[in-house]
Structure 1
Amino acid sequence: MQLSPKAVRFIIEALDYRIKAYKESFNNIHADSDENFYLANDIIYLEAIREELAEAIVQKLEKV
């Protein structure tokens, strides 16, 4: 799938919003809960996806 740089920026913004919301939830959940564990994993996963997209957009713009 080929996405335009603008589409990738929108996805990155959506990921940033979701990461922020998860971090806020993470801070409001009891530290020993399973939900906290799952949120932490999701945050790490979303941050990795975001980083890959950010790198891809830089590479795509360098080719232009």
Structure 2
Amino acid sequence: MRREFITAVPPWEVREIALASGASVSLEITEAEPFRGMPRFRVVVKGGEWEVKKFMMHMMRARAGG
């Protein structure tokens, strides 16, 4: 499964959240177009369906963005 989203969360923090979630996923993080001067990052998450969902649930809870 592949999931893609854009976030203002810094890449190092996305990686920490992935480690804390315990999900076995691979991350590709690249810069996206800034929004009103705020840097944004495009994150591509790849892995099994449950693993990606596990990471996304943890990401939403960690950053209170869901």
> Is TM (by shorter chain) over 0.5?
no
Please give the TM-score of this superposition, normalised by the length of structure 1. Answer: 0.35
- Is the helix fraction higher in 1 or 2? 1
- Is the strand fraction higher in 1 or 2? 2
* Larger-gyration structure (1/2): 1
Please give the TM-score of this superposition, normalised by the length of structure 2. Answer: 0.35
